[in-house]
Structure 1
């Protein structure tokens, strides 16, 4: 909104010309989102405690986690609020892609809110059943996929990392593919959210990576130089990704070990959906496998564990998701978290290198 209100005044007041620059708005979107999350977190934590919205810990997990019972949850509401407010202030809100990602955040946030509320209402660590949650997520992602497919001129070709001429066209199959990317990323982030600061750390790293990707995809000169698809208007998503970065950083201050608040599904589901939707908009869907490598490893560990136990009656890991396996091996929680952060940073650096290595 500030962009629409103040930039037109640049003809009379030269200082407002700064609003035309994405770099300026990216920086202040991140700072604004951080301040909102940082300032509002303490009163929100107190309110969650007053309402008795505490986390229920499953008994079959590591015994050290039982001490976390009652820690305020649903802190993801604060992340969503900070992202939306900061984006409204600093992004061009006439951009349809910005609205699409914000709707993705709100839609998946509502699914997560209901899931968290059911957990608290029933006094257990499980909320909606798997099919209820999945169908709701697919419904939101389907609307996003149909929007892309029906948009004039939007390509259904895939940009494959490390290849400049191999761009397979999915045609109508792009819709289920987009749904898979968005829902898959949403649930992968959700599965990763099992230790203090574990999920939000890689989200911060991934948001920086897709900030760069969306900026490059939305700049005709840069995209042509890097031989990546040019998506008109995608550059504004770099402002939104900056807001995700800032709000997540502010939340991490209170979510780091030992956590004062958990984000809950109301935070993890929309954060994953936001990354997935931006990946689809910027035509770097497959790059998400590298950027979100930690999320992929966590999700794959659960899939393999379930498949192995059902088919052979044996477990591959001591416990799934993967972070619990390392805990069961004797790693302390902060060590697991920081080492997976390091992996996330390295994978994001590798992913950004693919923009040039083609």
Structure 2
């Protein structure tokens, strides 16, 4: 693998010392937070997204289909760094068979990613930061935490497409002057996170009794603040060039501890009762929610020592602190909206 250890220095543009950064998926959950952090750092950030979104953190917003690269090529001109967040995360259930579903993920997450990276390299972009997924490693770490040397074992079509994109990007790095950085985060959380974390926040806030008292698992997560901080570090750090990184908050929590921390942040007591895990897994299988059960109850522990050793990175906030903050901000927002 080719390693380029050169610091990317900011340039003076419009009287400011900054990097010109292109962010795909700018209107998404992570993209919105990243835009704020880039603006605070004085960088000139252009956001790319599929539909219009109010996000004043980006100097420019370009609207277009991720697979229609011609619409976005001009946004790469003069760019120092591309941060690629955009991805297809879902395919409508029942709309296709398994192979067709995989091809839909590949079209966006692999093929469009590689087309964008090739064009970025051609136009002189110096670094391409790709936010992948810990799903590339698998659904469960078992008794040994995942690290960068763990054998990839993607199961879901989404994770397969992300892994194939990673492999293509590293091949491109070997044949071009552009550095590649690959980041594999676990579940990214905040008070306004989408998906299953949003549903969990709502369940804890209601409160609804939850049957996870007997589940003794270990979960690594990362707050959006910590992920954004790591992404920005990877924009310029010389040791990040052409490396993969697994990142997470310090520490792990079980699902019952996660619920308890969210509840504490909300000023509530967690309502948790015990159901044997074999009954939980069986019930999940009966209603077609095995994947959700695994996301909540399987072990998924990560070893982040490489990021700390090679880049000197330390998370801005701890896991339990971040979860309590998410709970606190969630109820504050609910009250304000109500």
Per chain length, whose mean CA-contact separation is higher, i.e. which structure has more relative contact order (CA < 8 Å, sep 6+)? 1
Question: Could you state the TM-score of these two structures normalised by the residue count of structure 1?
Answer: 0.28
Greater share of strand: 2
Question: Could you state the TM-score of these two structures normalised by the residue count of structure 2?
Answer: 0.30
